[in-house]
Structure 1
Amino acid sequence: MSEKSQSRAMLLGLSAVLLWSTVATAFKLSLQTLSPLQLLGWSGLFSTLVLAVAVSWQHRWGELLQQLRRRPGYYLAMGALNPFLYYLVLFRAYDLLPAQQAQALNYTWALTLALLAVPLLKQKLHRIDIIAMLLGYMGALVIATRGNLLALEFDSLPGVALALGSTLIWALYWILNTRAEGAPAVTLLLCFLLGTPMVWALMAWQGELVVPSLQGVLGAAYVGLFEMGVTFLLWLGAMRAATHVSRISNLIFLSPFLSLVFIRLFLNEPIVPATFVGLALIVGAVVLQQKMKPSEPAPAAEQPE
C-alpha cells in the first residue's frame, strides 16, 4: 500500500487536472480529421492498451476474469454506456458546438447525477439540490445562448441537446458504477474491453473503418491516453495518497476554467463573456451542492481500494 503524502497527492492531482483541461481542445483538433465515431474507435484502442498495462502492473488479471465470469451482463451494460454511448454522444456534441460551450455544458453532469440518484439510489432531493440545479441549468442556458436569454438562439440546438444528454449517460454510468465489485482500474478496463468492440462494429457498419491520417492517429492517441487512461490513474493515485481528500477533490473545479485557456490558445476560439458567467454559475452550483447538502447514506457498493 502506498504511503500517504499530501504533497505527492497534490502533484498527482494537479497533473490530472492539467491533462483533463486539455482534452476539450484535443477533441476539437482531432475532429478536424476524424468523425466522432472514428475518434471514439481509435482513442478507445489506446485507452484499452493503457488500462491493460495498469491492470498488468497491479497483477489483477485474475480479478478481471473473475469479475467478468460473475457478472457478464452488468459489465456489458457498463461498456455500452462508457465508452460506447457516452463518448459517441459527447464527441458529436463537440463536433456541432464551439469547444467552450460543449465542455461547460458537459460539466453539469454532477447536477444530473443528483437528479438520477433520487429514483435510482432512493436518495432525497433537498432544497439545496433544487437551488443548485436552478443555478447550474441557468448557467447552461447562459452559455448555450451566449447570454441572449430572451431570444433563445443557439449555435446548434442539437449540439446543446447532445451535450446535456451526455451528462445523463455519464451520471447513469457512475450510479451503476457504485455497484461494481472490482478495483477501479479493473472495472474501467472491462468497460473498454466490452465497449470498444461495439464502436468498431458500428464503424464497420457505417463504412468508417479506414486508417486515419497521422494527425488523426496522434489526436486519437492523445484523447485515449489523457482523457480515458493515464489521467484516471493519476487521479486515483492522488486520492489514495491524500491525507486530506477534500483538498484534492476540490482541484477538479480548476479544470473547466483552465480548459478555456487552452481553447483560446490552441483553437483561437474567442471566449465570450457569457461563457465565464455561465461557467461560474455551474461551478458555483456544484460547489454549493457538495458543501451544503446533508449527507446521504452511502449506496451499497465497494469503495475504491
Structure 2
Amino acid sequence: MRQHPLFYALAAIVLWASLATLGASVAALPPFFTVGVSLMVGSLCAIRHWRQWRVPPATLLLGVVGLFGYHFFLFVAFRLAPAVEANLLNYLWPLLIVLLSPVLLPGYHLNTRHILGALAGFVGAALVVTGGKLSIDLTALPGYGCAALAALLWAGYSLLTKRVPAFPTAAIGGFCLLSGALSLACHALMEPAVHPSASQWLTLLLLGAGPMGLAFFLWDKALKLGDPRQIGALSYLTPLLSTLLLVASGRGQLGPTTGAAIALIVGGALAGTVDWKGLRRR
C-alpha cells in the first residue's frame, strides 16, 4: 500500500523540528563544519544505492544549489543580521512553496484555502520565532536579503525537483555528499579549526542521520508524490514543533503568544491541506 505523501512530509517535518534541539548541543562548533559533517553523514543514508547517485548535470546542480545554497545563505544571514529576524525570513519558504507552485509547475493553481492557510501559518510562525516582538535593523539589510534568498532557494529547489527529469530519491545522497564537501571547504576557508568532543561527534551523527539526512529523502518522496501547495501549508508545523521540543528539553520556554501561534499554525495547516468541499460531498 502506497503511503500518503503527507505522511512523508510530516515525517520530514518532525525530523527537522529536532534540528534546533540537536544544534544547541553543538552550538560551539563552527556552523559550516556542523553542516558539512552532518551532510556527509546524511549521504550515508543512501550509500547502498550509490549507483543511483548518477544524475544529469542540471539535476545535480539543482540539488547542490538547494542543499548547499540554502544553508550557505542562511548562515551568512545569521552573521549579518539579528538571528530572530533572519530566522523569521527563513520561514518564508513554506509560503513561497505555496505561492510559487502555479508559477513553476504547470497544472497547479491557487484557491482561497491555499492562500489563507499559508498566510495563517506564516503569521503563526512569526509569533513563535519572534515571541511577538520584532525589531528591524536597517544596517542588517544585506543579512535580511540573504535570509530571504535562502528561503527562495529552498522553495525553488523543492518545486523544481518536479520539473527536472525523474530521478531516484536515493540520488539525494549524492546531493548531500557534494553539498557537505562544499560546506567543509567553506569551513576550511572561513572558520577556525576545531576538535569536537566525543559527545559532539555523537550529536553530529544524529544530525546527519535525522534532520540533515533522512529528512531530505522523505521530503523528496513527499514532493514527488504530493501536492506542493498542501505540503507548503503543512510545513509551518516545523517552527512550532521545534519550539515545543526546545521547551521539553529545557532549552526554551513558551511565551504569552504561544496559544495564538498554535491556533494559527494548526488552523493554517488544516485549511491548506484538507479538501473541505470534498469531505462534505462524501
Does the pair score TM above 0.5? yes
CA–CA distance in structure 2, aligned partners of residues 172 and 269 of structure 1: 31
Per-residue deviation at 1:226?
0.8
Structure 1 unaligned regions, length at least 5: 240-249, 296-305
Confirm whether residue 27 of structure 1 aligns to residue 23 of structure 2: yes
For 1:110, which of 94, 104, 120 is the aligned residue?
94
Q: For residue 298 of structure 1, what is the aligned residue in structure 2?
A: none
For 1:43, which of 29, 38, 41 is the aligned residue?
38
CA–CA distance in structure 1, aligned partners of residues 32 and 213 of structure 2: 18
Confirm whether residue 184 of structure 1 aligns to residue 169 of structure 2: yes
How many residue pairs end up in the alignment? 264
Confirm whether residue 286 of structure 1 aligns to residue 274 of structure 2: no
Q: For residue 227 of structure 2, what is the aligned residue in structure 1?
A: none
For 1:201, which of 185, 210, 222 is the aligned residue?
185
CA–CA distance in structure 1, aligned partners of residues 12 and 101 of structure 2: 27
| C-alpha distance after superposition, 1:14-41 (max 9, x if no partner) | 976654442221122222x212211111
Equivalence map 1:1-305=2 (5 Å): 4=1, 19-31=15-27, 33-53=28-48, 55=49, 61=51, 63-65=52-54, 67=55, 71-82=56-67, 84-90=68-74, 97=83, 102=87, 109-122=93-106, 123-148=108-133, 152-153=134-135, 165-178=149-162, 179-186=164-171, 188-231=172-215, 257-292=240-275
Q: Residue 28 of structure 1 aligns to which amino acid in structure 2? A: A
Do the aligned partners of residues 191 and 24 (structure 1) sit closer, same or farther apart at CA in structure 2, a change above 3 Å counting? same
Q: Residue 200 of structure 2 aligns to which amino acid in structure 1? A: G
Q: CA contact under 8 A between 1:42 and 1:217: conserved in structure 2?
A: no
Q: CA contact under 8 A between 1:93 and 1:163: conserved in structure 2?
A: yes
Q: Residue 282 of structure 1 aligns to which amino acid in structure 2? A: I
Of 12-21 and 173-182, more deviation after overlay is shown by: 12-21
Per-residue deviation at 1:128?
2.8
Of 167-176 and 126-135, more deviation after overlay is shown by: 126-135
Q: CA contact under 8 A between 1:111 and 1:133: conserved in structure 2?
A: yes
Local SS of the residue matching 2:157:
helix
Structure 2 unaligned regions, length at least 5: 224-232
TM-score, length-scaled by structure 2? 0.71
CA–CA distance in structure 2, aligned partners of residues 206 and 25 of structure 1: 25
Per-residue deviation at 1:184?
0.8
CA–CA distance in structure 2, aligned partners of residues 238 and 117 of structure 1: 15
Do the aligned partners of residues 77 and 289 (structure 1) sit closer, same or farther apart at CA in structure 2, a change above 3 Å counting? same
* RMSD, aligned α-carbons: 4.3
Do the aligned partners of residues 107 and 275 (structure 1) sit closer, same or farther apart at CA in structure 2, a change above 3 Å counting? farther
Do the aligned partners of residues 215 and 85 (structure 1) sit closer, same or farther apart at CA in structure 2, a change above 3 Å counting? farther
CA–CA distance in structure 2, aligned partners of residues 97 and 230 of structure 1: 26
CA–CA distance in structure 1, aligned partners of residues 220 and 44 of structure 2: 18
Q: CA contact under 8 A between 1:25 and 1:267: conserved in structure 2?
A: no
Of 282-291 and 14-23, more deviation after overlay is shown by: 14-23
Q: Residue 182 of structure 1 aligns to which amino acid in structure 2? A: F
Do the aligned partners of residues 25 and 89 (structure 1) sit closer, same or farther apart at CA in structure 2, a change above 3 Å counting? farther
CA–CA distance in structure 2, aligned partners of residues 214 and 190 of structure 1: 27
Report % sequence identity.
Answer: 28
| C-alpha distance after superposition, 1:86-136 (max 9, x if no partner) | 2334556788647xx95x876653321012223322543333333234323
Per-residue deviation at 1:143?
3.4
Q: For residue 229 of structure 2, what is the aligned residue in structure 1?
A: none
Q: Residue 110 of structure 2 aligns to which amino acid in structure 1? A: L
Q: CA contact under 8 A between 1:36 and 1:88: conserved in structure 2?
A: no
CA–CA distance in structure 1, aligned partners of residues 15 and 218 of structure 2: 10
